[in-house]
Chains A and B, each alone.
Chain A
């Protein structure tokens, strides 16, 4: 892959601003739902004295924990709605970063499985993702985006796409390094954990052991192959669908949805129709110029 082509992918995505408006809504709602309904409750106040391992810059928060959580929820919702987007984006990124750093320190091994949300929120601070689908857009008419802003938006969109691709690749590489090709070819890990800890549906599927071997092969092809197709826009619909299939499979077998990533993958990858891009961003370049 020539460097010029890489730059075309990283800096030349003409629909990036429209995509980031869609991602903003999904990302803000995901963070808000996770914080309201997910494991961020009073446990982290009640158990701080016993379980929290303080960071030098982050002492036990006590009752300030609830306030920080409330700020993160409110700013994530404002960001999703596109209200004072750049400000709410920055507040959501910072408050959720501190909150997630804090709760990660309650387990012996730091909990990093939701930090893609932190990285995405930080990355979107580089652009105004509230130019469309936002309350900001209703209140004021934004000036047309400059070419520099478009390149920055493309960089942020490419960052998210590569991040997702690398995440799956890391998951596949970890299996390859720790277990070898046997992980993918035998399906044993899927079988054992489905039987021992899986769902009723997953256990019912053990009537057909070949399904688990096929699942192992699919996981290998998906996890190790995804990243290589990220720069190819024509493959993006396939990538989004395969990710949904992968996460649906782990949900049905093992009760693990990874929804906070799975629901964002289509927003990050699904090819946007020119009519949608034109509607979200009337001053966008002609759709035919889209790389």
Chain B
């Protein structure tokens, strides 16, 4: 421990140092309380990502993008929203699947398709590169599908075995 400096006299008063130590402890207590309460209140963070034990067979959401020639692409949700893939998932599941307002879901889906067609984005760290339509084509539909994958008996390489699929949301552009 850095004890040698403790013997040296400090430049500031004991009262000032005590106040700063108290503020330091209070700040960190607030941070810690968010972890205990398991919630985030910006700018404080609980850092609870991946803190649960998932079942070995679990739902994995994917976006199905429909091109105007009928072709489809099945992609991670992070390739549909220009955000970190965790946050992209939160936004899509919350607005499209659990949202109270179906019209809002349609407006958001339409805006995302427009963005994919007109202004694709590159990958950067946890932000995945956008899905891109084939040359000369455009995306006209967006579905969300909950695939159930079984990780228990997984053998590499390749993706895990899909044991179920449930459509969760569908949107098509009106021609």
Chain B residues within 8 Å of A111, by CB: 40, 42, 84, 87
A-B contact count (CB 8 A): 227
A110 B40 Cβ-Cβ under 8 A: yes
Q: Which residues of B53-106 are within 8 A (CB) of A? A: 53-56, 58, 60, 76, 81-84, 87, 90-91, 94-95, 104
**Which of A186, A196, A256 interacts with B60 by CB under 8 Å?**
A196
Closest partner residue, chain B, to A186 (CB atom): B53
B53 A1 Cβ-Cβ under 8 A: no
Residues 33-71 of chain A: 1 if any B CB is under 8 Å from the residue's CB, otherwise 0?
Answer: 000011101110011001100000000000000000000
**Which of B1, B94, B121 interacts with A1 by CB under 8 Å?**
B1
A166 B2 Cβ-Cβ under 8 A: no
A38 B125 Cβ-Cβ under 8 A: yes
Q: Please give the distance in Å from A221's CB to the nearest CB on chain B.
A: 16
B36 A39 Cβ-Cβ under 8 A: no
**Which of A37, A183, A259 interacts with B53 by CB under 8 Å?**
A183
| Interface size band for A | 35 or more
Interface presence of A231 (CB below 8 A): yes
**Which of A38, A151, A158, A186 interacts with B11 by CB under 8 Å?**
A151
B12 A204 Cβ-Cβ under 8 A: no
Interface presence of A189 (CB below 8 A): yes
- Bound complex: CA of A203 vs CA of B158, how far in Å? 8
B125 A257 Cβ-Cβ under 8 A: yes
Residues 137-175 of chain B: 1 if any A CB is under 8 Å from the residue's CB, otherwise 0?
Answer: 000000000000101001111101000000000000000
Interface presence of B136 (CB below 8 A): no
Q: How many residues of B contact A (CB 8 A)?
A: 70
A12 B2 Cβ-Cβ under 8 A: yes
Q: Please give the distance in Å from B156's CB to the nearest CB on chain A.
A: 5
Residue of B2, B12, B58, B160 with most chain A CB atoms under a 10 A cut-off: B2
**Which of A5, A51, A147 interacts with B95 by CB under 8 Å?**
A51
Chain A residues within 8 Å of B82, by CB: 39, 41, 43
Q: Please give the distance in Å from A24's CB to the nearest CB on chain B.
A: 21
B151 A192 Cβ-Cβ under 8 A: yes
Interface presence of A182 (CB below 8 A): yes
Main secondary structure of the interface of A (DSSP, over half): helix
A8 B3 Cβ-Cβ under 8 A: yes
Q: Which residues of A1-33 are within 8 A (CB) of B? A: 1-2, 4-14
Closest partner residue, chain A, to B127 (CB atom): A39
**Which of B34, B46, B111, B126 interacts with A255 by CB under 8 Å?**
B126
A162 B151 Cβ-Cβ under 8 A: no
Residues 173-202 of chain A: 1 if any B CB is under 8 Å from the residue's CB, otherwise 0?
Answer: 111011100110010110111011100100
Chain A residues within 8 Å of B8, by CB: 12, 289
In the complex with contacts A112-B45, A177-B36, A197-B76, A12-B21 CB distance below 8 A: no
Which A residues contact B (CB, under 8 angstroms)?
1-2, 4-14, 37-39, 41-43, 46-47, 50-51, 97, 100-101, 104-113, 115, 118-119, 146-148, 150-151, 155, 158-159, 162-163, 166-167, 170-171, 173-175, 177-179, 182-183, 186, 188-189, 191-193, 195-197, 200, 203-204, 206-207, 231-233, 255-257, 259, 289, 291
Excluding A11-B17, A100-B42, A232-B2, 18 further A-B contacts by CB distance (< 8 Å) are A37-B124, A39-B87, A39-B124, A42-B119, A46-B111, A46-B115, A47-B108, A51-B95, A107-B87, A111-B87, A113-B47, A159-B24, A179-B51, A179-B53, A189-B52, A193-B54, A195-B151, A203-B158
30 contacts between A and B (CB under 8 A): A2-B6, A7-B10, A10-B17, A10-B24, A12-B10, A13-B5, A41-B121, A43-B81, A47-B108, A47-B111, A50-B104, A101-B43, A105-B42, A113-B45, A113-B84, A115-B44, A155-B20, A162-B24, A166-B28, A174-B38, A174-B46, A177-B35, A178-B48, A192-B58, A196-B60, A203-B156, A203-B158, A206-B154, A255-B126, A291-B3
Which B residues contact A (CB, under 8 angstroms)?
1-8, 10-12, 17, 20-21, 24, 28, 31-32, 34-36, 38, 40-56, 58, 60, 76, 81-84, 87, 90-91, 94-95, 104, 107-108, 111, 115, 119, 121, 124-127, 149, 151, 154-158, 160
Question: When A and B form their complex, which 6 residue pairs have the shortest distance between CB atoms, in order from nearest?
Answer: A12-B5, A8-B6, A147-B11, A291-B5, A112-B45, A291-B2
